[in-house]
Amino acid sequence: MNGTIAATKWPESVTICEVGPRDGLQNEKTLLTVDQKVELIERTVEAGARIIEIGSFVHPKSVPPMADTDAVARKLKQIEGVEYRALVLNLRGLERAEAAGLQKVKLTASASRAHSLANINKTPEEVVRGFSECADYAAAHGLELSGAISTAFGCPFEGRVSIDQVLAVISCFREIGVHELSLSDTTGMANPQQVYEYGMRVKTEFPDVTWVLHFHNTRGMGLANVVAGMMAGIDRYDASFAGLGGCPFAPGATGNIATEDLIHMCQEMGVATGYDLDKMLAIGRSIQQMVSHETASFVLKAGKNSDLVKTTCDK
Amino acid sequence: MNGTIAATKWPESVTICEVGPRDGLQNEKTLLTVDQKVELIERTVEAGARIIEIGSFVHPKSVPPMADTDAVARKLKQIEGVEYRALVLNLRGLERAEAAGLQKVKLTASASRAHSLANINKTPEEVVRGFSECADYAAAHGLELSGAISTAFGCPFEGRVSIDQVLAVISCFREIGVHELSLSDTTGMANPQQVYEYGMRVKTEFPDVTWVLHFHNTRGMGLANVVAGMMAGIDRYDASFAGLGGCPFAPGATGNIATEDLIHMCQEMGVATGYDLDKMLAIGRSIQQMVSHETASFVLKAGKNSDLVKTTCDK
């Protein structure tokens, strides 16, 4: 398989999961209020999002911008067909999520052994096996779990993370009953050839898993990696409104791919997303005002293709 | 063919054409000296470039930063295997290029009828047929020609430019004997599905042409479009050092894809480029000093994947 690309089709549609309220805002110096977060989340739903990561239930001191996730979750209106989820790292977080009214959480573990050991002195496999109490609790309480594998393509400690290592972590997630997994390029090190190779491989080895890809645009390859994911037949992508987010190892570097940019590319490609791009652009502009700086969104800056045409023709 | 992607392989190598001295610097407010330009071009050759667009022979008043292209061309050392070329729009430009010692020029025409009529009151076909005197002159004087088709994917006046329109312009170029053509996404409107479709189509219809793709990263799709081009089997890409360049219709927007970013992506994908990335990054930093502003290069800002690993391991 190495080096070859199988015949395929462009997807008819993709699902874009909005992770800005968590992966974006956790990197911001400006702390938004609960009401601001709720407003952004509700406007994002109104713009078409159906899966939104609203925050994380982690220790407030370790990630201060996420300390109010309980309050945010409690204020959100439940809407048929809309999934609010939050990131948790342990049973305590899961209990907080449940108490705040969430039905779904995302458990996260690093694929990189060196990263995981340096961070929390456990191997990735130990981390995921440690989630079994969360899995038991979720089963008993009717909660839904997904999993995220961070540094799934590369890691500042190890360089490229091998597909075998990623498969081993996936196996552990499957053992505890998680069947929705995202592969996260936490530090923006993935490349399209690797995304295609890893995507094809995980789909072949674990055909019962729903796959999500999570890219950062740190080195400009974010949307290129989405294209490679599409070629591998994966149709769920995380993105962050206004392109919020960052890379803990490259201060000032670009963060997650911007939701607006991904919607715009898909629309131009004839791939349905269910989003209203103009509404997302308006949200992006609100966010830039709230955090008081420009963000790494191309379409917020340059405008849509169709704006360009309209503006020029109006002249 | 629409919607489907044929089985293929990732390329073993690609050729990156450095267009920064022309497409990058023509958009800069800071005018570099002839010596600065020559230094940048010679360092770029030293870093591995084998095709460099050194400037344009157009009217000095219409593009002041290119007024010294004659002097730049005269100062460059001829090096075996290195192609210096310049953009020209007519016989006068071709004669100037020849007088300055160049062996190759690039003729450019817009694919968009509306754009071409608004700009110079001629249809694209009339523009290319008008190049026949250049073709005759080149044949008589042993000069080599290539062609560039600007707004080949989208245009601010027309929106999407149809493949039939692009094919018509290509036909005209073939009629006057040009067999190397670049399709240029002048305003950053191309998307990967379109690039793949157009790439496959032009290759099928004109199998004797050497194809080059030229992308701007205006809406974040630059490297994604390169991946789509690779899937269509095209192995030549223009790029601009430091990511210099812009979009005449979106002031402040990102310009050409950055040479460093493209080399970095290719290296990570296992696609050979013949470039020394560290040398190109050093050139990028010099350029940022010369033009006194940050430029749209991701790897200049975030560092290479391998830097990240090294830095972290050294801690």
pLDDT tens-digit series, residues B77-119: 999 999 999 999 999 999 999 999 999 999 999 999 998 998 8
Who among B5, B220, B299 is closest to A223 (CB)? B220
In a domain, A139, yes or no: yes
Do the chains contact at B9 and A5, CB–CB below 8 Å?
yes
Query: Out of A5, A298, A305, whose CB is closest to B154?
Result: A305
Is the pLDDT at B315 greater than 60? The verdict is no
Task: Verify whether the Cβ–Cβ distance B223 to A228 is below 8 Å.
Answer: no
Chain A positions touching B119 (Cβ under 8 A) are none
Say if residue A94's pLDDT is above 60: yes
Q: What confidence score (pLDDT) does residue A119 get?
A: 85
CATH number, domain with residue A162? 3.20.20.70
Q: Of chain A residues 59-78, which have a CB less than 8 A from chain B?
A: none
- In whole angstroms, what is the distance from residue A246 CA to residue A265 CA? 21
Please state the ipTM of this predicted complex. 0.96
Among A197, A217, A244, CA closest to B297: A217
Q: Is residue A8 part of a domain?
A: no
Domain that holds residue B201: 15-314
A266 catalytically annotated: no
Residue B8 located in a structural domain: no
B20 to A11, B11, B16, B247, B260: CA distances (angstroms):
35, 24, 12, 14, 12
Report the pLDDT value the prediction gives residue A27, as an integer from 0 to 100. 87
| pLDDT reported for residue A276 | 98
Please indicate whether, in this complex, the C-beta atoms of A224 and B220 are within 8 angstroms of each other. Answer: no
A238 domain-assigned? yes
Q: For chain A, how are helix, strand and coil distributed in percent, rounded to 5?
A: 45, 20, 35
pLDDT at A308: 76
State mean pLDDT over B236-258.
85
Nearest CA in chain A to B231: A5
Whether B274 is in a domain gets the answer yes
Answer whether B242's CB lies under 8 Å from B299's CB: no
Mean pLDDT throughout A244-268?
87
Nearest Cα of chain A lies from the Cα of B291 at a distance, in angstroms, of 21
Domain membership of residue B6 (yes or no) is no
pLDDT of residue A2: 54
* CA nearest to B259 within chain A: A220
For A183-225, what is each residue's pLDDT tens digit?
999 999 999 999 999 999 999 999 999 999 999 999 999 999 9
Bridge partners, B159 (sequence order): B155
For helices B259-269 and B222-231, the axis angle rounded to 10 degrees is: 50
Q: Pick the residue with more confidence: B245 or B190?
A: B190
- Residue A266 domain-assigned (yes or no): yes
Model confidence at A312, pLDDT cuts 50, 70, 90, reads low
In total, the C-beta contacts within 8 angstroms joining chain A to chain B are: 181
**Number of domains into which chain B is organized:** 1
pLDDT, tens only, B134-174: 999 999 999 999 999 999 999 988 899 999 999 999 999 99
- The mean pLDDT value of chain A amounts to 94
pLDDT tens for A222-234 read 999 999 999 999 9
Query: Which residues on chain B are in Cβ contact (under 8 Å) with A191?
Result: 265, 268-269
CA distance B224 to chain A (A): 4
Can you tell me the mean pLDDT for A19-43?
A: 95
The mean pLDDT value for A161-169 works out to 97
Please indicate, yes or no, if residue A10 is contained in any of the structural domains: no
- pLDDT reported for residue B250: 66
- Which range is least confidently modeled, A51-55, A127-131, A307-311? A307-311
- Tell me what the mean pLDDT of segment B286-310 comes to: 90
**Do B154 and B190 form a contact (C-beta atoms < 8 A)?**
yes
